[in-house]
Amino acid sequence: MKFRTMGRHVKESFRSIGRNGWMTFASVSAVTVTLLLVGVFVAIMMNLNKLADDLENNVEVKVYAELIADEEQLATLEEEISTTLGVQEVVYSSKEQELVKLAETMGQEFQLYEQDNPLFNTFYVKAATPKETLAVAARIAKLDSVERVEDGRAQVQKLFSVLDVSRNIGLVLILGLLFTAMFLISNTIRITIVARRRDIEIMKLVGATNWFIRIPFIFEGMWLGIMGAILPITLVSIAYYNLFNLFNVELASTGIYSLLTPMPFLLQINALLLAMGIVIGVWGSFMSVRKFLKV
């Protein structure tokens, strides 16, 4: 096929979009609604993923030192912990500091315990990789002057399963949406093609090959997909940017969790939406023109 014929097909596809008025509108709307939902779901899912990762990376082992341990023993213990296999970081927090923390979260009444502090001197230990957390905890439990070891995994395990379930639900929803969109657009294009069935028949009788007829339709599907992606891309970008500015400072201050920063993330999600729009449009028109070409 010659290059100028491609130009002709592109031109033809644009004209067809113009001529098909409300059908174009219907197809574009179908894509828009779908991509909007997909965009929202993907944004939520990606951030849930980030949350899971953040939490997983933040699982700590809490090591309570024996109450009888003196300064020297505590120093030795800290030394031993930090040289334990798989340990990345050790932070010491005296029982006084622990009480202050507790009071901060639970309320000032806890200050009353200051005279008779029931808390332990504590080491917060972080494993080099989340996977090693359990092993690290077990190793530390064997050291001298250790009263008890608590590994944070159990606490987040529940959260993980919730996240997993919601991730899977999101995935199923997105696939369902995509399927619906393809169905919708191929149906919409099919209606316009039924109207153009006679045109196709005539074109074939005048000597057009199948590809000569098909390519303008494929371009048309592509434009529909791209047009359908414009609104979702804009809305998702604006909404995400604003939500990010609204919440991220607060979230980040926990030191554990932060939202995905808009810059690479919005680019990725927008590229995804655009690509999906194009795939939906092209696939839809390809499928619907197929059965009318057997003249």
The contact set with other proteins (CB under 8 A) reads 1-2, 4-5, 8, 19, 199, 202-209, 212
Give whichever of 217 and 265 is closer to other proteins, judged by the CB atom: 217
Phi, psi values for residue 21, rounded to 5°: 20, -100
Least Å distance between CB 9 and other proteins?
Answer: 10
Nearest to 9 by CA among 228, 191, 211: 211
Least Å distance between CB 23 and other proteins?
Answer: 13
Give whichever of 95 and 290 is closer to other proteins, judged by the CB atom: 290
| Integer Cα distance of 52 and 287 in angstroms | 40
Least Å distance between CB 25 and other proteins?
Answer: 18
Least Å distance between CB 26 and other proteins?
Answer: 18
Least Å distance between CB 223 and other proteins?
Answer: 17
Helix locations, 58-94, DSSP H: 71-82
The first and second tokens of residue 275, run together, are: 């690509």
Q: How far is CA 253 from CA 8, 45, 78, 283, 286, in A?
A: 57, 22, 27, 46, 51
| Integer Cα distance of 180 and 167 in angstroms | 20
Least Å distance between CB 222 and other proteins?
Answer: 20
Give whichever of 7 and 176 is closer to other proteins, judged by the CB atom: 7
Give whichever of 20 and 121 is closer to other proteins, judged by the CB atom: 20
Give whichever of 211 and 241 is closer to other proteins, judged by the CB atom: 211
| Integer Cα distance of 136 and 125 in angstroms | 9
| Integer Cα distance of 126 and 23 in angstroms | 59
Give whichever of 85 and 195 is closer to other proteins, judged by the CB atom: 195
CB atoms near residue 26 (< 10 Å): 19
Helix or strand run (H / E) with residue 149: strand 146-151
Least Å distance between CB 19 and other proteins?
Answer: 6
| Integer Cα distance of 237 and 269 in angstroms | 9
Give whichever of 138 and 202 is closer to other proteins, judged by the CB atom: 202
